[in-house]
Amino acid sequence: MADDEHLSDAEQSVATQLEKAGWQVTLPPPNTTGYDFEALKGRETIAVQVKNHRVPVKVPQIERFLNFFDLPVARRFTKGLLVSANGYTHNALTYFANADSPKVRLAVIKEGTVHWIRFEEHETEPPPKELIYVGVFTCKGGVGKTTISAHLAGAIALSGYNVALIDLDPQKNLTTLLDGGVILPSVGNRPGHTVKVFELEEWDRNTPPENIDMIVCDCSPVFEENPVDLIEKFSYCLIPTTLNPLGLNKNGYVIKNTLKAIRSVNRQAYIFVLINNYFRDEAQKAQVLKNQYKKYFSKLSEQEERFQFIDPDDASIRNSRQLFYWGYHIYNGDKPELAFTPIGGKCAPKADFLNLLDYLEEHSDIAQYKSRM
């Protein structure tokens, strides 16, 4: 029996049930991170982590636990068990299901009892009754607007919705990269969902397709070229930017102008500034830049209740090989796809965009909007 003094109540509850099932529970060596205790039975050795937070487990916590099993210290474990006392977000479950880990299982604690998460029984969220419009804006090129638009739509599709991507940019990069669209793979017994690409001329604004649940618009960098009647419908807007030590004032000026332009047409939309191509560094330079950006936008947030700079440690799009080479299919003749294919079993873009959805649901009314029936 593991030392009760070293286990929280939630951990002790899980450990007790494992012991009743014939497992021997032991504590990890001192200063060990990545799991809370070990359980041994025959040839099986599992690493157990228990999350007893007041909120559901999100994508980054699942991603970290999965990544733990790629470390040399985890090679001796045959399985992993992640247990949550307060469940998992829908997007976290979507990420785990797509990761298709052969080692890790998820469970929840309900009334003191551990219950396995069985994905064949996990129902998808109902589609929204009203169409949700999301706009991705920037008045400055090279910050990944089209990449953000496409993969945000892909993450929404992974979560169980059919998405329309409207290409409003005169360069038509979205149409070039995805042609007519993509089908996201199914998980278990759940059907796959689609991302369909429309040029503005193809989109019937009065009668959208019946099978579309959400709409993402890759907006023109020239604000005046975007149809006013579409901007008026946006409930949520993203403004991607990058952490650039030489460009803070310039980027900030661009974002302020973009915010002002959106507000001239739409007073109600939630507007989020998102850091793209983000990476943490040991010298903490990214942390310093992040704090400067937060300080820069704090006054705007005070003036605008529905304007937020997203702390990149909460949600951001990390620098990754998948996104760097996205679009290479144009040159080698492969079919269009999103950068959601794992490399070495990992897929940072998939985790990041699903985590972004969690952030948007937590910091706006999008979750209530999606659940209206």
Residues 151 and 99 in one domain: no
Stretch (H or E) spanning 218: strand 214-218
Q: What are phi and psi of 188, to 5 degrees?
A: 60, -130
Residues 150 and 291 in one domain: yes
Answer yes or no: is 123 within a domain: no
List beta partners, residue 108: 84, 115
Residues 209 and 339 in one domain: yes
pLDDT value at residue 370: 54
Domain end, chosen from 88, 116, 144, is at 116
Answer yes or no: is 125 within a domain: no
In this structure, what token pair is assigned to residue 254?
């661009």
Answer yes or no: is 298 within a domain: yes
In this structure, what token pair is assigned to residue 204?
């019937």
Place of tokens 């006013």: 228
In this structure, what token pair is assigned to residue 25?
């529970």
Residues 316 and 237 in one domain: yes
In this structure, what token pair is assigned to residue 111?
């009334």
Residues 323 and 210 in one domain: yes
Angstrom distance (rounded) from CA 151 to CA 162: 13
Contact 148, 238 (CB under 8 A): yes
Answer yes or no: is 110 within a domain: yes
Tell me the C-alpha to C-alpha distance, in Å, between residue 53 and each of 35, 57, 89.
15, 8, 13
pLDDT value at residue 232: 96
DSSP 171-217: T-HHHHHHTTEEEPPPBTTBPP-EEEEEEGGG--SSS--TT--EEEE
In terms of DSSP bridges, do strands 163-167 and 113-116 run parallel, antiparallel, or are they unpaired? unpaired
pLDDT value at residue 279: 84
Residues 21 and 141 in one domain: no
Tell me the C-alpha to C-alpha distance, in Å, between residue 251 and each of 141, 143, 263, 333, 352.
11, 10, 18, 36, 22
Residues 92 and 146 in one domain: no
Residues 110 and 144 in one domain: no
Answer yes or no: is 111 within a domain: yes
pLDDT value at residue 371: 52
Residues 33 and 87 in one domain: yes
Q: What are phi and psi of 100, to 5 degrees?
A: 50, 50
Residues 88 and 138 in one domain: no
Q: Which CATH number goes with the domain that contains 251?
A: 3.40.50.300
Answer yes or no: is 121 within a domain: no
Tell me the C-alpha to C-alpha distance, in Å, between residue 348 and each of 59, 167, 225, 290, 359.
11, 25, 33, 20, 16
Answer yes or no: is 42 within a domain: yes
pLDDT value at residue 283: 63
Residues 21 and 159 in one domain: no
Domain hosting 316: range is 132-371
Question: What is residue 69's three-state secondary structure?
Answer: coil
Q: Which CATH number goes with the domain that contains 72?
A: 3.40.1350.10
Question: Model confidence over 219-273: pLDDT tens digits?
Answer: 999 999 999 999 999 999 999 998 877 667 777 888 898 999 999 999 999 999 9
Answer yes or no: is 126 within a domain: no
Residues 153 and 276 in one domain: yes
Contact 92, 62 (CB under 8 A): yes
Domain end, chosen from 64, 85, 116, is at 116
The number of domains in the chain is 2
Q: Residue ranges of the chain with pLDDT lower than 50?
A: 372-373
Angstrom distance (rounded) from CA 66 to CA 310: 25
